[in-house]
Structure 1
Amino acid sequence: MMNMTTHIIPAAANAPMLKYFESQGFNELYIDQESVANQLFGANSHQRLGLGIYADYLRCLRMTTQADLFADTSFGQPDSIASTASRLAQAGANNLLISDSTNSSKQSTPILLSEDAYTEKLAAAQTALAETNTTAIANLTGFSEYGLAGLQSRIEAAHSAGITKIVISNISSKDISIIGAIMVPNQEIGLALDNAKMTFGNTQRISPAFILDTYHPKQAAQKCTQATGSSYVLQLYMEN
């Protein structure tokens, strides 16, 4: 495990990845729906998972690890968040990322909810999780559109909804110094490392509470898939 001051929550798309990360001392892991879709449908597929498939897959992964699992709620429309949250809590998620966009694919620009609509979404998720041990986490994805003032306002909205942990996603290295102005010690705000424009070094510059890394595990999984391509499969087959 890397020696870093900010703890890392890596994405994992299958049981071997979960077990490896757990063996390296990671006790929190993110089951990113895009990474799972790449695992099931192929690295170059843009096909999105349905909630049913994702929930069943999450339930299977839950049986392989004692780590806390972070789950993705980017399925359906904002008004379906209550049923989505309930289903993923039942599937074994310890934490749910509640996004302020209606899509989470890195292939497209986020379609942002208004702050009022997002506040309603957070409240509905909190209500659905009230009788569970699953925690909602606000996932703020639109910094490039709503800027620092909008980011602050949405953080306050999340806190008003009773949500203490927040992740800021979909940012680049040039955004770091601006976002750093609102980072307060002991505040549970983390950064997502989800694109090639971010590195561990620049995310740590503003001392986030955690780094949610989806980019590097996905890149590693894709390289592994490419390395064990058709020629390797044929070789294994012919040897037996």
Structure 2
Amino acid sequence: MMTMTTSIIPAAANAPMLKYFESQGFNELYIDKDSVENQLLGGDTNRVLALSDYAHYLQCMRNATSAHLLADTSFGGDDAANWADTADQLVRCGANTILISDYQSKTSNHQPNLLLDEDFEAKIRTMKAELTDTNTDAMVNLGGFSTYGIDGLKKRIQIARSENIAKISISNVAAKDLSIIGAIMKPNQEIGLAIDNPKMTFGSAQQVNPAFVLDTYHPKKATQQWVQKAGPSVVLRLYMGN
């Protein structure tokens, strides 16, 4: 396992990947929506992964591991009923933690459709209400730094803290912005950084001393490469060899 001073939470797109990470000592794993979408839909950009399909997949992953599982909540819909239903389904399917993003979905070029501050606060409050009397925790993911900047980022951190969110991940950040982001990485604040693009590395992320690193890029890349290698020629050889 790679040695870092900050903890790593890797995304896992399938059971073999999940079991491998667990065997390497990772006891917290993220069932990332984008990775699952790639796994189930084969990178088909014309199709969108439904919450019900994701929740069922999460339940299958729950049955495959005893690791702590983080679940994605960035599904379509921007109303309280949708938020409540999303949280409820993920709890019932075995999520140990739900990752509450400040966006609902992503555009075709993977940019987040951001919620307004007041809607983001309402989303946290609504989803946390569904966690009452359960063993599921909430974590916040902030993905709009390129839009709202450092002042907006600080405000959204404040919103999360006001709703008693202890752990926050900052995602969708360019490497050039790390020096600015690093200013808010204070000890014992439980603010982490997501590696979700090819220009972000473990080394660059570690330079700003995040409390943890949420890695969605490398597992997704590994899944894509596996799918490419297991193409028609490989499948044909498997059949012809028997």
**TM-score normalised by the chain length of structure 1:** 0.97
Q: Give the aligned residue type for 1:87.
A: Q
Q: Could you tell me how far apart the structure 2 residues matched to 1:221 and 1:108 are?
A: 18
Q: Could you tell me how far apart the structure 1 residues matched to 2:60 and 2:41 are?
A: 17
SS of residue paired to 2:156: helix
Q: Could you tell me how far apart the structure 2 residues matched to 1:43 and 1:51 are?
A: 17
Is residue 68 of structure 1 aligned with residue 68 of structure 2? yes
Q: Could you tell me how far apart the structure 1 residues matched to 2:6 and 2:85 are?
A: 33
Q: List aligned pairs for 1:133-172, cutoff 5 A.
A: 133-172=135-174
Match of 1:204 in 2: 206
Identity %: 58
1:47-81 superposed Cα distances (whole Å, 9 cap, x missing partner): 22111111111101100001000110111313211
The runs of at least 4 aligned residues of structure 1 exceeding 4 Å deviation read none
Pick closer, same or farther for the CA change 1:109–1:151 going to 2, 3 Å: same
Pick closer, same or farther for the CA change 1:177–1:197 going to 2, 3 Å: same
Q: Give the aligned residue type for 2:66.
A: Q
SS of residue paired to 1:63: helix
Match of 2:59 in 1: 59
Q: Give the aligned residue type for 2:146.
A: S
- State the shift of 1:149 in Å: 0.9
Match of 1:214 in 2: 216
Q: Could you tell me how far apart the structure 2 residues matched to 1:61 and 1:144 are?
A: 33
Q: List aligned pairs for 1:49-198, cutoff 5 A.
A: 49-79=49-79, 80-104=82-106, 107-198=109-200
1:63-107 superposed Cα distances (whole Å, 9 cap, x missing partner): 000100011011131321111101101100011111111214683
Match of 1:37 in 2: 37
- State the shift of 1:112 in Å: 1.1
Match of 1:26 in 2: 26
1:133-164 superposed Cα distances (whole Å, 9 cap, x missing partner): 11111110100111111111110110101111
Query: What's the Cα RMSD here?
Result: 1.2
Q: Give the aligned residue type for 1:93.
A: A
1:185-231 superposed Cα distances (whole Å, 9 cap, x missing partner): 01111111001121111111111111111100111111111112111
SS of residue paired to 1:102: strand
Q: Could you tell me how far apart the structure 2 residues matched to 1:120 and 1:227 are?
A: 44
Q: Could you tell me how far apart the structure 1 residues matched to 2:30 and 2:22 are?
A: 12
Q: What stretches of structure 1 of length at least 5 have no aligned partner?
A: none
Contact 1:143/1:150, CA 8 A, preserved across alignment: yes
**TM-score normalised by the chain length of structure 2:** 0.96
| Paired residues, number | 240
Contact 2:107/2:113, CA 8 A, preserved across alignment: no
